[in-house]
Amino acid sequence: MAYLSDAELKELTQEERVKALGMTTEQLTGRSMAIEFDPEEEKRFTYPWAPDVDYNKRTEIDADNLTSTEVNTKLRSLMAEGYGSIVIRNPRGKHGLGVGILSRLNLIFEGSLGYFAIGLNDGPNVRINGRVGWSCGENMMSGSIVIEKNAGSTFGAAIRGGDLVCKGSVGSRTGIDMKGGTIIVGGDTGALSGFMMQRGRMIVCGNAGKNLGDSMYDGTIFIGGNIRSLGVDAVPAELTDLDKSWLIRKLGLYGMIPEKGIKHFTKIVAGKQLWNYDNLEPTEKKLIL
Amino acid sequence: MAGTKYRGSEISDVDQFIKDKDGLGSEREVEIGQHIGYRYDVNLVPDYERLTPFLKDYLEVMGWDDLNWLEDVHMGYEDGKPAVFDRNINGWVRVPDSISLPDNQQDRDMIARELLVKFQMSDRHPLVLLRKAYMKF
């Protein structure tokens, strides 16, 4: 494969680029375990393509007369200029703000956001001095999001990593399909929270609605208040000393340790009664039917 | 049918899946010839007393007070070898034999986190090539 510079690649169509980089001839099967870590790998902390931002370089965007796309584009261009701390004023509940940021950044919203805010992120630390609508932090990979007031339903849907924090209460289906990360709720959470959760941790300092952890495959839910009802295959487990110290540490980071402490928290895990994914089962069914 | 009972084996030893790469502990696993479940405890929360110097530096650069997304990274075991699952390539990356493994999962997890960060941030990570091929200019 001949080396092509970014400028040369830019002149090609996507199909031509894929061929030029040898991706159509790549062996796709049996790839797992084909790569080994290099113990001598260079010490680097950000992705190769991430802009070199400085947390001490600060600026502001007034979103009042801008569309969501314009705000997000502006954010990217400011990061490319090295701004590491950006304040967005007057977001006025616009949807899809602050999405797809794949590098470190301090981002502050002075106001409330609409649907799908701060989704698909990998790195930034975000603070929202207001409320958020549905699906805040969906598919988040890393970083932190702190919401000072309440949040809507499907808070942290399919989150994979990072800390997603709501200091108020949240709607239903919090952490639906979560595959990692930590969701923290200072108040209450609605019905079907942790539905189909696969891994990760959820901490709710208040009460939980009906069917908590329904069909959860794995992961851990900590509840400080009452649980209206548990879902299918969600079962209580022992709160270990390591769990307690982790809870204190994690809640302490956001100033959210309850007055009563955390000793009264209930830990919920998967009962693993739904783990039926072995190869033989379809054959068995066929024989029976 | 769904909703029967957990029929996988339990993890009892940190080297269990290195000594026994197939991991067929329970009756059901032996019957189907397949291990059921993860080969490590996905719910094990980190012991912060065991952070490596590299990880401390990483957290400082990122502006995080704890391991953040790395809390979900553990050392796993595939084909009898220690390996780490890289979510960015959806596959296992082998830990080289030259790295000696500590005798406990917590310290192994810290090594896994350090190796994974270094790999993901390197130019040889497959995502670099993918990005070149599919990025929008």
ipTM of this complex prediction, to 2 decimal places: 0.92
Do residues A222 and A266 touch, judged by C-beta distance below 8 A? yes
* Any domain includes A237: yes
Would an 8 Å CB–CB cutoff place A276 in contact with chain B?
yes
- The pLDDT of residue B65 is 94
- Mean model confidence pLDDT for chain A: 92
Q: Which whole number is the average pLDDT over A257-263?
A: 96
What is the DSSP secondary-structure string of A96-109?
STT----S--EEEE
Tokens of A149: 């007031």
- The pLDDT of residue B1 is 39
How many domains are contained in chain A? Answer: 1
How many CB pairs below 8 Å do chains A and B form together? 180
Q: Which whole number is the average pLDDT over B89-94?
A: 90
- The pLDDT of residue A30 is 61
CA B131-B135-B137 angle, 5° bins: 135
- Rounded Cα distance between A37 and B84, Å, is 9
Residue A191 has pLDDT above 80, yes or no: yes
- The pLDDT of residue A274 is 83
- The pLDDT of residue B74 is 97
Least confident stretch, A5-14, A53-62, A96-105, A217-226: A5-14
* Any domain includes A75: no
Pick from A36-45, A198-207, A270-279 the range whose average pLDDT is largest: A198-207
- Would the CB atoms of A276 and B4 count as touching at under 8 Å? yes
Q: Which whole number is the average pLDDT over A163-180?
A: 98
Which residue of A35, A183, A235, A281 to mutate against B (max B Cβ within 10 Å)?
A35
* Any domain includes A169: yes
Tokens of A173: 């289906």
Least confident stretch, A8-22, A106-120, A149-163: A8-22
Residue A1 has pLDDT above 60, yes or no: no
- The pLDDT of residue B31 is 86
Q: What are phi and psi of B58, to 5 degrees?
A: -60, -45
Amino acid B15 reads D
- Rounded Cα distance between A85 and A104, Å, is 10
Neighbours of A10 (CB within 10 A): 11
- Mean model confidence pLDDT for chain B: 91
Question: Which residue from A32, A36, A106 is facing B96, i.e. has the nearest CB?
Answer: A36
Model pLDDT for residues A6-37, shown as the tens digit of each residue: 888 888 888 888 888 877 776 666 666 778 99
Residue with tokens 């930590």, as numbered in its chain: A182
Query: Which residues of chain B have a CB within 8 Å of the CB of A36?
Result: 93-96
Chain A nearest-CA residue for B34: A278
Residue A287 binned pLDDT confidence (cut-offs 50, 70, 90): low
* Any domain includes A214: yes
* Any domain includes A163: yes
Amino acid B17 reads F
Tokens of A108: 């502050």
Query: Which residues of chain B have a CB within 8 Å of the CB of A243?
Result: 45
- Rounded Cα distance between A140 and A165, Å, is 12
Q: Which whole number is the average pLDDT over B91-101?
A: 94
What domain range includes position A200? 150-260
Least confident stretch, A65-74, A102-111, A259-268, A273-282: A273-282
Specify the DSSP element, H or E, that contains B132: helix B126-134
Residue A186 has pLDDT above 50, yes or no: yes
- Would the CB atoms of A218 and B92 count as touching at under 8 Å? no
Residue A279 has pLDDT above 70, yes or no: no
